[in-house]
Chain A
Amino acid sequence: MPLAAIRAVSKGQNGIGAFVLQCKRLDFHYCDWAGSSRGMNEYLRTHLARFAASNPSIEVTVSPKPRQHPVIKGVYVNGREKAICVRNMTPAEIINKVQLLKTDSGEKMKKSHRAGRNMVTSINESVRGVWDPFHRTGERFKI
C-alpha cells in the first residue's frame, strides 16, 4: 500500500459561511407576588413580545416561579446554561441582561491572559512546526 489516508473530521467555523446564533433558548422565570419581580413583570408585559418577534431563532419560554427571585436562563448550543438573577431590576436593566445572554457564546468564562502570556488559539498549525525529540512508538520517522 503506497499511500494511505488518515481519517479526519472537518471542523466547523461558525460565521465563515453560515452563522448560527449560539443562544438557542431563553427561559424567563417570574413571581406574581414578590416585589423583586416587579421590573421583570413589566418587562414581560411590555418588551418580551417585541424581543421574541425580532429574534425568531431563539426559543422563548415564560414560566412562574412562585416565592423566588426572577431569573433569566439562557441555554446554548454547546449544552451549557447561564442564569442571571434579575431581582429588583428595572426593565431597562433587564433589557441589557437579555442582550448579554443573547449574544453570549455559552462558553465558560476564561481569562484571555494566563500567567502573563497571551493565549493564542488557532486551528491552523504553526508554520514552523513543533519539534519533539520523542517520536511516536512504532514509527521511525514522524512524517
Chain B
Amino acid sequence: MKRVPLDRWVVQLQPPRNPRLGLVQQRCPYSHETRAAPRRELQERRYRVEHQWQCQRRSAATSKRKASSAAAAQVQERDDGIFSNYRQEETDETRPLNSPSPKQALRSAKLSALHARLSLPSKLPIQTLARCLVDGSVDPRPGYNNEPLALIGQDLLGYYTAEWLLCRYPRLPMPILFAAQYAYVGSQTLAAMRAEWGVEVVAAPGPEVDPGLLQLKRLPAGNAMAENDQMRSPLVLNSTSLSHSSRPTEDGSSVEAASASFIRALAGALYLHAGQESVKAFHQNHVLSRHLPLHTLFHFTHPTRDVSRLCAREGFEPPVARLISETGRLSRSPVFVVGVYSGDDKLGEGAGSSLNEGRVRAAASALRSWYLYSPVEDDVVLPSEAATKKKQWKPQMIDIGEVVT
C-alpha cells in the first residue's frame, strides 16, 4: 500500500512556509543558549525589518502597487509581533538602497518589453513586474523584494502541477511523482525558463542599474555550494533530496535560486492582480507545455520481481517471459525480442543482446505501462477546474499504491 508521508508531502516540495522562521530559529526567545557572534547580526536584521516602513515612506511608493503592497503589509504586521521581543532603542542611520527605486520601473524599456513578450495581462502593473525581479539578497525588506510573492507563487505552481500529475497519472509512484514535480517546477527548470524568456541578470546590484534585469547579489566564490548541494546526483533516491535550494541570505544568492524566485513571484503577482484564471493560464502555457517524457524517470532495480508481485497482487496469472523473435544468436551482435506474458495477455516487450537482458527490459516495460496508466481525457477533472465551475466534478481514480514499498 502507498503510505503517504504527509509531512514530506507538504514540506518537501516547498521551502519553509514563513521566510522569517529562519531568523527566529537563529535566536529562539525561549532558549538559554547564549551566542556572542550572531547577536550583532540579528540586531542589524531586526533593525532593518523595523525600519522598512520608514524607508518606504521616504521613497514614497506609488499607490499602484495595491495588492502586492497590501500583502506585504500583513507580513509586516506579523513580523512586528515576532520581533517585539528584541525591540530596543532605535538609531537613525539608514542603509543606502542597493536596487533601483520602483519609480524607475515605468521608464524601463526592458521591463515593458518583457511584459509584452510574456503577454502578461494589463492588470499586472509594470511596477509589480519590477518588484518580482528584486531578489531577497539585494533588498532584504519584504515589502520591496519578491519573497512574499514567491511564497504564494510557489504554492500555486506546486499545487497546479501536483493535481495535474495526480489526476492524469493516478498510478505514479511517489519518487516519480516528486521527480516529475521537480522537473516541471523545480528551481533548475525555472532557471532555464528565465533564460528562455530573455531576462538577463545584473553583473552587480545597485540603484543605477536597469530595473528590467534580475536584481541579485551573487554568492562570493567558495565551496559553500558544494557542501549543501548533494542534490545534483542524477538519481533521486528519496524525496528528501528534492528539497529546495537555500533561501537568499545577506551573503548572496545563486542565479538559479534567484531565477526560480522571480518566476514564482511572477505567478504570485499574477494571482494577486489578475486572479486565479490568469495564473492557471500562465501555468498551462509556460509549465505544462514543457516536454517531459515521464517514462524516462523510472529507475528499476528488480523489475522482474516487481512484475510478479504485481501480478500476484492484482490476481493475474504469474508472468512468463517468452521469446518473440531473435536474430544473430551466434554473431557478435545478437538481438532477442522477449515478451512478458500473463496468460495470453502480453504485459510488456523488450529487446536485448542476451535473453536475460531482453527479459529484464520487457519486465521494466510492463511496469512502466502499469504505472503510466492515464484515464480517458474526458474523465479527468482537476479539483481547481471544478472549484471554478469550469467542469462538473467527477470522482477521480485513486490507486492503491506502488507494487513494492
Interface centre among A16, A17, A58, A125 (most CB of B within 10 A): A17
Nearest CB of chain A from residue B45's CB, rounded to whole Å: 34
A63-95 with Cβ < 8 A to chain B = 76-77
Query: Which of A6, A13, A24 has the most chain B CB atoms closer than 10 A to its own CB?
Result: A6
Q: Which of B115, B118, B237, B357 meets A18, CB within 8 Å?
A: B118
What's the Cα separation between A22 and B180 when bound, in Å? 27
Q: Is the C-beta of B353 less than 8 angstroms from some C-beta in chain A?
A: yes
Give the distance in Å from the alpha carbon of A17 to the alpha carbon of B284 in the complex. 7
Task: For A22, list chain B residues within 8 Å (CB).
Answer: 198
Known: A18-B119, A21-B117. A4 touches B175 (CB 8 A): yes
Cβ–Cβ contact A7 & B234, under 8 A: yes
- Taken residue by residue from 1 to 36, chain A's Cβ proximity to chain B (1 for < 8 Å, 0 otherwise) reads as 111111111111110111011101100000000000
How many B residues touch the partner, as a band? 35 or more
* In the complex, number of A-B residue pairs with CB atoms less than 8 Å apart: 144
Q: A8, A18, A77: which has the most chain B beta carbons within 10 Å?
A: A8
Most B Cβ at <10 Å: residue of A5, A17, A131: A5
Q: Bin chain A's interface residue count.
A: 35 or more
Surface stretch bound by A, among B78-86, B97-105, B285-293: B285-293
Main DSSP-derived SS at the A contact region? loop
Q: Residue A20 contacts which of B182, B198, B235, B353 (CB distance < 8 angstroms)?
A: B198
- State whether A10 and B184 are in contact (beta carbons under 8 Å apart), knowing that A2-B402, A4-B299, A24-B113 are contacts in the complex: yes
Residues from chain A with Cβ under 8 Å of B51 in the complex: none
Q: Which of B16-24, B133-141, B187-195 is the interface stretch?
A: B187-195
A129 to nearest B CB, angstroms? 7
Hey, which bits of chain B sit against chain A, CB under 8 A? 109-110, 112-113, 115-119, 173, 175-176, 178-180, 182-184, 186, 188-189, 192-193, 195-198, 231, 233-238, 284-286, 288-293, 296-303, 306, 332-333, 335, 351-353, 356-357, 360-361, 364, 402-405
